[in-house]
């Protein structure tokens, strides 16, 4: 019987993988992703690169213009003419703003400073200008209290905050909330789309078998359970093949694109360095913790010295519980797919017409969409909260909820319990689905209701 | 001959209705067996139990004396009424797939597919998708799929519905050939006249019950009414001690058609002698009841009149 199941799975796999649509999609997606990534990086970097030119009309007599510090975001320059002239002038000169410091400005209580800009002035710009002003005023006050320019220069400091997460064992790791969230996000999206796309394929496949009236022929030589599971597993293999190819192709494409974007080979060497460091730390953990820590510190300081954000993200990546994430991802990916795949298969078997699927699709997709939406908002914000906990325990929501939590670290007992529940969950749904399937595939011309589905559960073989 | 398949008091009920209420059958090996009855009588339910698509609520099916097991599926070929193929699959691959599912090894299956394809003149279509085939060609493919694993029991549900006359004849010849090679064939149909001449044995099923079964010849003899159709020239007298003229119609130029029922103990030769003496005979033939007529009579005998109208 096992051989028949394999035959079914093999057919499902081969007929799909050989389709033109599959090949086109497999080749096109990595290219699209690369193009997409390229555009995002370009847009993001060009946004950072723009420097707003702000004209300053200083009537205060405090000589603040020179004190406003230029930065990568703001460039201050004195305005020409009166305020009225300057108002027109900065627009003509295509400058981005005009800062007006009125006469009689009190250093201790500076009121009445105005900023003119074009259109809506962004919060970012406002904060930057305010920051520059605050700094200028505090320097002015310090100078008034007797500090020399030299002393002031020495007081200026630029602090870069480096966040490090500390776990119970005292192991340090670079923590970057943004990068960790990004990983959660990507994992959740992957599972969500995989379940959806390939779940619907199962449903369609069953529907096609039903409408082409081949079911009865098939069932005279294959058990309905084997037929259903063969389909589910075969389609899963199609999906995994596609994802694997996407991964490989994307890696290939991005290995060409990333150096091109950053303009140098640095990220590659950085990655090599940072992944090597924690690796050494774990291997040496028992023997010589001292040297291990030394190496780790070296790794971190090396990153801190480097300002490349890509390298930082990669550094964070290497410090996450990658083994657990990978294991968990595969477990939830497969478990979730099996659980939902069986239900999608049952829907395909229950209805005659693809247009009738809606009423049964809704209750199936609801928990999936819910876990996706709640997951990417509530759980991502508070990965250890009660919502996160319960949603990562319920088998219908855990595939997405738990993978969102994984990069933030999940206690082992929760992971084990959740996976156990998921296994029970998919055994349950497969059982239910197989019963609906068995009756449904031979049922034609009947509009099926939930009540009817309930009855099917208890039909004898 | 020993039965290849026996059904013993098989019962099956669905939520709303009873499909089979205690049906027992024995299908002799090497015969063509007609499973006859109107739509909804329970034929397909019985077949689905034999093909193990569903199970019986009660009763037992025996295949060559053994209780039916999943392994027996390889020895059964089934062409359902709802027959289809994977539309997007190539003909050759599809046949290979179905053959392997029925337990053939790949080389064996490939070999047999080649033979059947040549026999049914489908060579140019092996690498075409099923959806590109005409309906008639799809039917040929379906038939090949049913018999290519050389099953000893072949079940054909409404085999001639949907088949065009040329294919129907082709299939008929193939069926006779398969029987010659030792296969047993079950025909299931509500169009009794379509399989009458093919069947060795029949069972009539009506409203979930078997109403009649046995060898076709025997059943016909059993339902014979000793009635003869006579055509000739002249005039038959209506009252005679040996026979009764049930019906007589006058035709032009003094010809007539009559149905004559002999009384018990009177032989047809006695009637002939009388006819030769009195009229000019053009044709003389015994009225043999068709299976359809037998079915209707049998149903009348076993059911209240009001239900008969519904059934027939």
Between CA B47 and CA B58 the distance in angstroms is 15
CA nearest to B156 within chain A: A217
Predicted pLDDT at B306: 54
Structure tokens at B230: 């006579």
Three-class SS of residue A407? helix
CA nearest to B14 within chain A: A459
Q: Is A156 on the interface with B (CB under 8 A)?
A: no
Please indicate whether residue B308 or residue A372 has the higher confidence score (pLDDT). Answer: A372
Q: Is A460 on the interface with B (CB under 8 A)?
A: yes
Predicted pLDDT at A262: 60
Q: Is A145 on the interface with B (CB under 8 A)?
A: no
pLDDT tens, residue by residue, A205-238: 888 888 888 888 888 888 888 899 999 999 999 9
Q: Is A432 on the interface with B (CB under 8 A)?
A: no
Q: Please list every residue in chain A whose beta carbon sits closer than 8 Å to the beta carbon of residue B79.
A: 217
Record: contact A220-B70, CB cut-off 8 A: no
Identify the burial level of B262 via C-beta atoms within 10 angstroms of its C-beta, where 0-12 means exposed, 13-18 middle and 19 or more buried.
middle
pLDDT tens, residue by residue, A269-312: 444 444 444 433 333 334 444 444 444 444 444 444 444 555 65
Q: Is A323 on the interface with B (CB under 8 A)?
A: no
Chain B: give the shortest CA distance to residue A202, in Å: 15
- Contact pairs from chain A to chain B, CB under 8 Å: 69
Record: contact A216-B73, CB cut-off 8 A: no
Between CA B170 and CA B117 the distance in angstroms is 14
Predicted pLDDT at A303: 44
Measure CB to CB from residue A220 to each of B14, B73, B97 and give the nearest one.
Answer: B73
Chain A: give the shortest CA distance to residue B126, in Å: 16
Q: Is A446 on the interface with B (CB under 8 A)?
A: no
Q: Is A43 on the interface with B (CB under 8 A)?
A: no
Q: Is A120 on the interface with B (CB under 8 A)?
A: no
Residues B27 and B4: beta-carbon distance below 8 Å:
yes
Chain B: give the shortest CA distance to residue A402, in Å: 39
Chain B: give the shortest CA distance to residue A435, in Å: 12
Record: contact B84-A220, CB cut-off 8 A: no
Q: Is A209 on the interface with B (CB under 8 A)?
A: yes
- Report the topology of domain A51-155: D-Maltodextrin-Binding Protein; domain 2 (3.40.190)
Between CA A419 and CA A406 the distance in angstroms is 13
Q: Is A11 on the interface with B (CB under 8 A)?
A: yes
Record: contact B76-A214, CB cut-off 8 A: no
Residues A1 and B69: beta-carbon distance below 8 Å:
no
Interface predicted TM-score (ipTM): 0.79
Chain A: give the shortest CA distance to residue B142, in Å: 9
- Residue that has been written with the tokens 């193990």 in this structure: B52
For CATH 3.40.190.10, list the domain ranges present in chain A.
51-155
Between CA B292 and CA B312 the distance in angstroms is 10
Structure tokens at B214: 């046995």
Between CA B152 and CA B186 the distance in angstroms is 11
Between CA A440 and CA B59 the distance in angstroms is 24
Record: contact A7-B97, CB cut-off 8 A: yes
Give the pLDDT of chain B (312 residues) as one tens digit per residue: 688 999 999 999 887 788 898 899 999 999 999 998 888 888 988 999 998 888 888 999 999 989 988 888 889 999 988 788 888 889 999 999 999 998 889 999 999 999 999 988 888 989 999 889 888 888 889 999 999 999 999 999 888 777 778 888 888 899 899 999 999 999 998 887 777 788 899 999 988 889 888 898 888 888 888 889 999 988 887 778 888 888 888 888 888 899 898 888 888 898 888 888 888 999 999 888 888 888 888 888 776 655 555 554
Record: contact A221-B102, CB cut-off 8 A: yes
Record: contact A221-B101, CB cut-off 8 A: yes
Closest Cα to residue A408, out of A164, A177, A185?
A177
Structure tokens at A133: 């002003």
pLDDT tens, residue by residue, A382-439: 888 888 899 989 999 999 999 888 888 888 899 999 999 999 998 999 888 888 888 8
Do the strands B76-79 and B153-157 form a parallel or antiparallel pair, or are they unpaired?
parallel
Structure tokens at A371: 């876990």
Record: contact B84-A223, CB cut-off 8 A: no
Q: Please list every residue in chain B whose beta carbon sits closer than 8 Å to the beta carbon of residue A215.
A: 82, 84
Record: contact A15-B86, CB cut-off 8 A: yes
Measure CB to CB from residue A213 to each of B52, B70, B82 and give the nearest one.
Answer: B82
Predicted pLDDT at B41: 86
- The CATH number that domain B3-221 falls under is 3.40.50.300
Between CA A451 and CA A453 the distance in angstroms is 5
Three-class SS of residue A97? strand
Record: contact A221-B73, CB cut-off 8 A: yes
Facing residues of B15 across strands?
A: none
Between CA B77 and CA B150 the distance in angstroms is 8
């Amino acid at each position: 019987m096992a051989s028949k199941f394999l035959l079914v799975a093999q057919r499902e796999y081969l007929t799909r993988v050989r389709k033109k649509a599959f090949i086109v999609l497999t080749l096109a997606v990595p290219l699209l992703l690369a193009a997409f990534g390229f555009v995002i990086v370009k847009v993001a970097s060009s946004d950072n690169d723009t420097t707003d030119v702000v004209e300053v009309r200083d009537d205060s007599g405090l000589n603040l213009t020179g004190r406003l510090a230029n930065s990568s975001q703001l460039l201050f320059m004195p305005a020409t003419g009166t305020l009225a002239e300057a108002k027109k002038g900065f627009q003509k000169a295509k400058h981005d703003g005009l800062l007006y410091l009125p006469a009689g400005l009190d250093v201790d209580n500076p009121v009445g400073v105005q900023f003119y800009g074009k259109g809506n002035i962004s919060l970012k710009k406002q904060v930057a200008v305010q920051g520059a002003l605050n700094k200028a005023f505090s320097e002015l006050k310090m100078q008034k209290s007797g500090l020399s320019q030299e002393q002031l220069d020495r007081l200026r400091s630029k602090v870069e905050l480096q966040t490090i997460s500390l776990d119970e064992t005292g192991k340090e790791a670079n923590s970057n909330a943004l990068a960790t969230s990004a990983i959660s996000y990507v994992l959740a999206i992957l599972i969500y789309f995989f379940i959806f796309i390939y779940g619907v394929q199962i449903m369609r496949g069953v529907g096609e078998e039903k409408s082409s009236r081949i079911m009865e022929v098939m069932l005279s030589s294959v058990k309905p359970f084997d037929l259903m599971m063969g389909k589910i597993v075969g389609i899963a293999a199609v999906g995994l093949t596609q994802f694997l190819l996407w991964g490989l192709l994307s890696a290939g494409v991005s290995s060409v694109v990333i150096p091109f974007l950053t303009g140098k080979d640095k990220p590659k060497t950085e990655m090599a360095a940072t992944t090597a460091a924690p690796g050494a730390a774990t291997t040496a953990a028992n023997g010589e913790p001292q040297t291990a820590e030394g190496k780790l510190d070296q790794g971190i300081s090396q990153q801190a010295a480097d300002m490349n954000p890509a390298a930082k993200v990669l550094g964070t990546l290497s410090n996450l519980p990658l083994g657990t994430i990978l294991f968990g991802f595969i477990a939830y990916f497969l478990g979730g797919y099996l659980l939902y795949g069986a239900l999608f298969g049952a829907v395909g078997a229950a209805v005659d017409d693809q247009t009738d699927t809606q009423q049964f699709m809704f209750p199936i997709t609801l928990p999936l969409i819910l876990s996706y939406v709640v997951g990417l908002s509530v759980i991502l914000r508070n990965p250890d909260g009660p919502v996160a906990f319960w949603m990562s325990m319920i088998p219908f929501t855990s595939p997405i909820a738990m993978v969102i939590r994984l990069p933030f670290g999940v206690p082992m007992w929760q992971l084990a319990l959740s996976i156990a529940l998921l296994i029970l969950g998919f055994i349950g749904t497969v059982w239910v689905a197989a019963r609906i399937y068995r009756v449904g595939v031979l049922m034609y011309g009947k509009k099926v209701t939930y009540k009817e589905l309930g009855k099917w559960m208890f039909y004898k073989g | 001959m020993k039965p290849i398949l026996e059904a013993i008091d098989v019962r099956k009920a669905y939520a709303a209705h009873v499909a089979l209420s205690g049906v027992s059958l024995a299908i002799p090996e090497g015969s063509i067996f007609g499973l006859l009855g109107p739509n909804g009588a329970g034929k397909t339910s019985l077949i689905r139990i034999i093909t193990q698509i569903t199970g019986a609520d009660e009763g037992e099916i025996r295949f060559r004396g053994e209780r039916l097991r999943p392994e027996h599926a390889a020895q059964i070929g089934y062409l359902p009424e709802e027959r289809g193929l994977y539309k997007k699959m190539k003909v050759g691959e599809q046949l290979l797939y179905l053959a392997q599912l029925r337990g053939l090894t790949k080389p064996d299956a490939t070999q047999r597919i080649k033979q059947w394809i040549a026999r049914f003149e489908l060579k140019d279509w092996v690498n075409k998708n099923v959806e590109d085939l005409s309906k008639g060609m799809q039917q040929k493919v379906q038939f090949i799929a049913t018999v290519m694993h050389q099953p000893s029991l072949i079940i054909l549900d409404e085999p001639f519905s949907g088949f065009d006359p040329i294919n129907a004849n082709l299939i008929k010849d193939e069926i006779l050939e398969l029987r010659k090679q030792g296969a047993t064939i079950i025909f299931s149909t509500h169009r009794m006249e379509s399989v009458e001449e093919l069947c060795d044995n029949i069972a009539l099923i009506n409203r979930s019950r078997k109403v009649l079964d046995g060898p076709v010849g025997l059943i016909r003899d059993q339902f014979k009414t000793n009635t003869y159709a006579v055509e000739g020239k002249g005039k038959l007298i209506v009252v005679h001690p040996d026979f009764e003229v049930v019906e007589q119609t006058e035709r032009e130029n003094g010809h007539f058609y009559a149905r004559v029922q002999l009384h018990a103990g009177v032989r047809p030769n006695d009637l002939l002698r009388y006819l030769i003496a009195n009229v000019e005979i053009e044709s003389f033939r015994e009225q043999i009841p068709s299976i359809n007529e037998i079915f209707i009579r049998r149903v009348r005998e076993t059911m209240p009149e009001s239900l008969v109208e519904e059934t027939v």
